[in-house]
């Protein structure tokens, strides 16, 4: 491999000749070989903010137009993913993300100078003008978090809602046994049960949406400690407007930069709503696999697609694998919520130095939820079918339809009917007649499943 010599405040260092990064990136690359690379969404967000900063500085008259245009051109390449290989740094580096900020600065400068065929750009003096790692990295966090949620997660939520709406309508008249405490309960329709699942996704999406405003507040303009040192007084407001133009999403400058540099509460808040979605997806996936359990010795009230063999030793076994994948993702998101919460609590004085961890785990949660929900929807939920025979068998065996007798014979007598039926393995009708509480005609008139799935009147 051929090398070139780059210099920084520490001294000279060899850098591969065919890369756009410089000395500071190289030192980080050599010193931190811990875990995976910084998420591409963060790098793209840096492309957005560096472009916006350059254009804003040009408008303010503190950066030459030709330099600003050159920076913007390279940033467009970064945003498109064209320069992906030039961002080798890992998540577990300096906790401020300084090295990733400098990675972007160096790549923009060197690539820009290559395009211009002359040395027009300096990574600090031009690309990083009016900025600090301490305000650019939090800004990249907010941009990448919001854009990833809206681009990757929300469309999947909408598709799942559509699937569950269809299933709700298709199964609206199928009456089945309800269950509480894992015990038999009064009946409901399969459509009603599915409507609960749908409502969870609808509400979770709304809850996530309600948190996003806080991510729209950007730290850019606070520079090193929140005072805005070395930036124009109008820079923060103007650069937020420019970022909005580039992304098509509304962003504003944070009112208090001392808060936005050191506190990561907005990400904690939004991730809490993501955790709520994960919790509901755990519930839906578990419901589906319980209701599909069997095929002969379980509940078996629904059938799900048979996607692959389920056992290396038991022939013919098929497992609810999509549900299992979803529940594992839910657990991972809950774990990420813990790490994000702990990391966010470590904002000492004017800076939090757990930021790469926070945004890595945040984006991992968003992308995992989007992927797992899409897979569950396409490979499982959409193919759910009711097992009418099993549903009817369970309806016939359920003792909890005795609840329909409460208004006619009272709670205590109805309880006696259920206990006698269970103890003697006879029907509720037979038990009540033997106890002398009613005759067969009364029972048939009082106990109708279709009347038990809605309020009286």
The number of distinct structural domains making up the chain is 3
**162 lies in the same domain as 90:** no
**366 lies in the same domain as 446:** no
**285 lies in the same domain as 361:** yes
**365 lies in the same domain as 435:** no
**273 lies in the same domain as 368:** yes
**198 lies in the same domain as 317:** yes
What's the CATH number where 65 sits? 1.10.275.10
Task: Flag whether 90 is in a domain.
Answer: yes
Which residue is catalytic, options 311, 345, 365, 427?
311
CA 434 to chain centroid, in Å, comes to: 57
What's the CATH number where 435 sits? 1.10.40.30
Nearest to 364 by CA among 281, 236, 278: 278
**144 lies in the same domain as 109:** no
Q: 347: domain range?
A: 137-177+189-216+261-388
Question: CA triplet 381, 452, 182: central angle to 5 degrees?
Answer: 55
- The answer to whether residues 109 and 122 touch, using CB atoms and an 8 Å cutoff, is yes
**100 lies in the same domain as 146:** no
Task: Flag whether 237 is in a domain.
Answer: no
311 is catalytic: yes
pTM to 2 decimal places: 0.96
pLDDT by 10-residue block (mean), the chain, 457 residues: 93 97 97 97 98 98 98 98 98 98 98 98 98 98 98 98 98 98 97 98 98 98 98 98 98 98 98 98 98 95 93 91 98 98 97 98 98 98 98 94 96 97 96 97 96 91
Task: Flag whether 223 is in a domain.
Answer: no
**42 lies in the same domain as 165:** no
**97 lies in the same domain as 152:** no
Which residue is catalytic, options 142, 181, 199, 263?
181
Task: Flag whether 255 is in a domain.
Answer: no
**80 lies in the same domain as 163:** no
Q: What pLDDT shows up at residue 457?
A: 77
- Give the 3-state secondary structure percentages of the chain, helix then strand then coil, rounded to 5: 65, 10, 30
Structure letter (DSSP) for residue 90: B
Task: Flag whether 245 is in a domain.
Answer: no
Beta strands in 127-200 (DSSP E): 175-180, 183-189
427 is catalytic: no
**422 lies in the same domain as 284:** no
């Amino acid at each position: 491999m051929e090398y070139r010599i780059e210099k920084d405040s520490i001294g000279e260092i060899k850098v591969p000749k065919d890369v756009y990064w410089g000395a500071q990136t190289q030192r980080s690359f050599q010193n931190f070989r811990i875990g995976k690379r910084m998420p591409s969404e963060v790098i793209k967000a840096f492309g957005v903010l560096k472009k916006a900063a350059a254009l804003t500085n040009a408008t303010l008259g503190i950066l030459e137009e030709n330099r600003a245009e050159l920076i913007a051109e390279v940033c467009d390449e970064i945003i498109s993913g064209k320069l992906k290989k030039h961002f080798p740094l890992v998540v577990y580096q300096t906790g401020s993300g300084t090295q990733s900020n400098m990675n972007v600065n160096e790549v923009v400068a060197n690539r820009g100078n290559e395009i211009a065929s002359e040395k027009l750009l300096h990574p600090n003096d031009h690309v990083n003008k009016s900025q600090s790692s301490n305000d650019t990295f939090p800004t990249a966090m907010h941009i990448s978090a919001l854009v990833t949620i809206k681009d990757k997660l929300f469309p999947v939520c909408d598709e799942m809602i559509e699937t569950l709406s269809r299933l709700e309508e298709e199964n609206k008249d199928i009456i089945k046994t309800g269950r509480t405490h894992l015990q038999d309960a009064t009946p409901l329709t399969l459509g009603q049960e599915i409507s609960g699942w749908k409502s969870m996704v609808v509400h979770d999406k709304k809850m996530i949406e309600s948190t996003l405003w806080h991510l729209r507040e950007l730290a850019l303009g606070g520079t090193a400690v929140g005072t805005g040192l070395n930036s124009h007084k109008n820079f923060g407001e103007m650069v937020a407007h420019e970022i909005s133009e580039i992304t098509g999403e509304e962003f504003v400058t944070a009112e208090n930069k001392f808060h936005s540099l050191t506190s990561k509460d907005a990400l904690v808040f939004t991730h809490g709503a993501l955790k709520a979605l994960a919790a509901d997806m755990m519930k839906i996936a578990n419901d589906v696999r319980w209701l599909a359990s069997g095929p002969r010795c379980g509940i078996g009230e629904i059938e799900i697609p048979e996607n692959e063999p389920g056992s290396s030793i038991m022939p013919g076994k098929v497992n609810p694998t999509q549900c299992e994948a979803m529940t594992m993702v839910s657990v991972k998101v809950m774990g990420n919520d813990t790490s994000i919460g702990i990391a966010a609590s470590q904002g000492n004085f004017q800076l939090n130095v757990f930021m790469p961890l926070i945004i890595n785990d945040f984006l991992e949660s968003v992308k995992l939820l989007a992927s797992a929900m899409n897979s569950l929807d396409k490979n499982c939920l959409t193919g759910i079918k009711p097992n009418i025979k099993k549903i009817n068998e369970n309806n016939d065996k359920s003792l909890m339809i005795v609840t329909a007798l409460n208004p006619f014979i009272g709670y205590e007598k109805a309880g006696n009917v259920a206990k006698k039926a269970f103890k003697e393995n006879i029907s509720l009708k037979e038990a009540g007649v033997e106890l002398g509480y009613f005759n067969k005609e009364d029972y048939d008139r009082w106990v109708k499943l279709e009347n038990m799935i809605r309020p009286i009147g």
